[in-house]
Amino acid sequence: MTPAASRPIRGRPSGRRGPRRRVDLRAFPGFAPAAWVVLAFLYLPLVVVVVYSFNANRVATQWDGFSLEWYSRVFADADIRRATVNSLRVAAVATVVSVVLAAGAAVALQRLGRLGNRYALVIIGAPLVVPEIVLAVATLAMFVAVDVPLGLLTVTLAHIAFCVPFAFLPIRARLADMEQATFDAAADLGADEWRILRRVTVPLLLPGIVSGALLAFIISLDDFLISFFVAGPGATLLPVYIYGQIRNAITPAVNAVSTLLLLLTVVVLTAAFLVGRTRSRKVLP
C-alpha cells in the first residue's frame, strides 16, 4: 500500500467503521516509544525472575552464568512438590465449585428483572471490592469464631468465594451477547425449561464457562494474602511457600518455582484469550 492510499480520502462518505486512520498515529509523537517503554516496564519483573532462575550463583541477586541446576532441585524438593500439589488441588476444586455457582447465578440473574437481584449482584461483586487484606483477616476471624481448624478445607472454602465473581463476569457477558429469540424458538418448539437449559443455554454458554473457569483457576493459583491467613501450617500453598522462602533469601530455586508458576499462568491465559476470540467471531456480527 502506498502512503497516499493509506491516508483517509476527504469527500468520500466514510463507512461506519471509517477508513484506517494513519494520521492520528503521527498526531502524538513520542507516544509510541513511551508505550513500548511502559510495556517493557510491565514485563521487566517477569523477565528478571525467568532470567535469574537460570543463574548459576547460589545468591540469586548476583548473576554468575547459566545453569539448569535449580530446576532439577525444584523437581526433587519435597516441600515444593507438596505446596504445588496443594495449590493445584485447591485451585481445581475452587474452579469447579465457583463456576457451578457462578453459572447458576448468571443464568438466574439474566431472567429475573433488575430489581430483585440487587443484593445478589452486590454480594457477588463484593470480593472484588473488599480489600484483600480485610477479606483475609475477616475470613480468618470467622473460622476462629466458629472454631473450624485451619487447613486445606478452610483455604478451599475461602478460594471458592473470591473466585465466584471472576467466573461470573465472563459467563454473564456471554449471556448478554445471546439473543432472547433463541430461547423463545426453543420454547416454541416445545422444549421445557430444563431441556432449554441443557440443550440450548449451557452449550451456548460454554465459551463463557471455559474462560470463567480459566480465570478462576488463575486467581486461585495466584492468591497469596488470603491463603497466608486461612491455610494453616499444614496446608502451605505455593505462593505462601515462595513468600516464606524470599523472607530469608531469594535463591535461584525460588525463581525457578516462580518461573514455572508464571509459565502455567501464561498458558492458561493464552487459552482463555483464544477461547475469547472464537467467541467474538461466532456471536458478534
Partner 1 sequence: MLALPAVAYLTVLIGVPVAVIVGYSLLSRARFGVGVTPPVTAEAYVRLLFERRLDGTLAVDTTYLQVIWTSVSLAAVTTVVCLVLSVPVAVWIATRPPSWRPLLVFLVTIPFWTNQLVRTYAFLIVLNDTGPVNVALTGSGIVDEPLSLLYTDTATVVGMVAAFLPFMILPIYASAERFDFRLAEAAYDLGARRITVLRRIVLPAIRPGIVAGTALVLIPAVGAFLQPDLLGGGTTLMIGNVIQQQFTASRNWPFGAALAVLLLVLTLVAVLLISRPIRRTGAVTRLLR
33-52: which residues touch partner 1 (CB under 8 A)?
A: 34-35, 38-39, 41-46, 48-49, 52
CB of 25 to partner 1, least distance (A): 6
Determine which residue in the list 84, 86, 139, 236 makes contact with partner 1, applying CB under 8 A.
139
Binding mask 91-130 for partner 1 (x = CB under 8 A): ---------xxx-xx-xxx--x----x-xx--xx-xxxxx
CB of 16 to partner 1, least distance (A): 11
Q: How many Cβ atoms from other residues are within 10 Å of residue 164's Cβ?
A: 25
| 31 phi and psi angles, rounded to 5 deg | -70, -40
CB of 189 to partner 1, least distance (A): 23
Residue length, the chain?
Answer: 285
CB of 123 to partner 1, least distance (A): 5
Helix axis angle for 152-177 and 202-222, nearest 10°, is 140
Residue 188, C-alpha cell as written in the block: 416454541
CA distances, 91 to each of 21, 47, 166, 250 (Å): 44, 25, 13, 26
Instruction: Give the C-alpha separation, 126 to 147, whole Å.
Output: 24
Residue 32 binds to partner 1 (criterion: CB under 8 A): yes
Determine which residue in the list 68, 133, 202, 267 makes contact with partner 1, applying CB under 8 A.
133
Determine which residue in the list 220, 229, 231, 236 makes contact with partner 1, applying CB under 8 A.
229
Closest CA to 20 of 31, 3, 6: 6
Determine which residue in the list 185, 266, 267, 271 makes contact with partner 1, applying CB under 8 A.
266
Closer Cβ to partner 1, 92 or 121, answer by number: 121
Determine which residue in the list 56, 77, 92, 222 makes contact with partner 1, applying CB under 8 A.
222
| 67 phi and psi angles, rounded to 5 deg | -155, 145
Closest CA to 94 of 221, 228, 258: 221
DSSP symbol at 115: S
CB of 219 to partner 1, least distance (A): 8
Determine which residue in the list 58, 61, 199, 267 makes contact with partner 1, applying CB under 8 A.
61
Instruction: Give the C-alpha separation, 36 to 159, whole Å.
Output: 35
Do residues 70 and 49 lie in contact, with contact meaning Cβ atoms separated by under 8 Å? no
Residue 273 binds to partner 1 (criterion: CB under 8 A): yes
Residue type, 271: A
Residue 276 binds to partner 1 (criterion: CB under 8 A): yes
Residue type, 125: G
User: Considering only residues 155-184, where is the footprint of partner 1 by CB under 8 A?
Assistant: 157-158, 160-161, 164, 166, 168-170, 173
User: Considering only residues 192-221, where is the footprint of partner 1 by CB under 8 A?
Assistant: 211, 215, 218, 221
